Amino acid sequence: VCSSDLASSPDAFWTLLADGGDAIRMPPVGRPGGEALGPAGYLDGVEQFDAAFFGITPREAEVMDPQQRLVLEVAWEALEDAGMVPAHLAGSQTGVFIGISGIDYARAQGGSDAATDPYAATGTALSLAANRLSYLLDLRGPSWAVDTACSSSLVAVQHACDSLRQQ
């Protein structure tokens, strides 16, 4: 089994964690930065992002950090799994708190033409990940991208809990 297959879904990821597995590997063939990037937890299929579905132009999607793409895809999937209609959230005080860290994608594009593309600034800014989702769903609550390195997700959850307690 390829290491990338071990975490290809939430259930597979949970099994990987529960079994103490390891999905660290060398970069996939054709990944910008190639072998120089070294071993890490790479995702397959990041180029399969359906930009049109999320109202993003193909040009912008090309330079958009896969982390931003994943925020949109995973949040949409989570709403579907919960039986929620995303359009019903429009205008609500729903908050978005995202733990996000690492600028590997921006670094990998550093010497390419993509780095000077006008969309590169918004496509690689971690601060915009939460805002993209808020904008897409027309959410009016707090929208924060939290980068505290290894604790980013935990701190984002803490901020979300604090926000709910203040309501």
What are 130's two structure tokens?
């939460």
Q: What is the pLDDT of residue 29?
A: 79
pLDDT score at 152: 95
pLDDT digits (tens, 9 = 90+) for 41-100: 877 777 789 999 999 999 899 889 989 999 999 999 999 999 999 999 999 999 999 999
H helices of the chain, in order, are 10-18, 58-62, 66-81, 104-109, 120-124, 128-137, 152-165
Strands (E), the chain: 96-99, 143-146
Element (DSSP H or E) covering residue 156? helix 152-165
- Taking only the tens place, the pLDDT of each residue in 102-157 is 887 777 776 666 667 888 888 889 999 999 999 999 999 999 999 999 999 999 99
With beta carbons less than 8 A apart as the criterion, state whether 64 and 56 touch: yes
Distance, CA of 152 to CA of 148 (rounded, Å): 5
pTM of the full structure: 0.84
CB atoms within 10 A of CB 105: 21
Residue 58: partners with Cβ closer than 8 Å, 6 or more residues away: 51, 52
Q: What is the tens place of the pLDDT at every residue in 83-113? A: 999 999 999 999 999 999 988 777 777 666 6
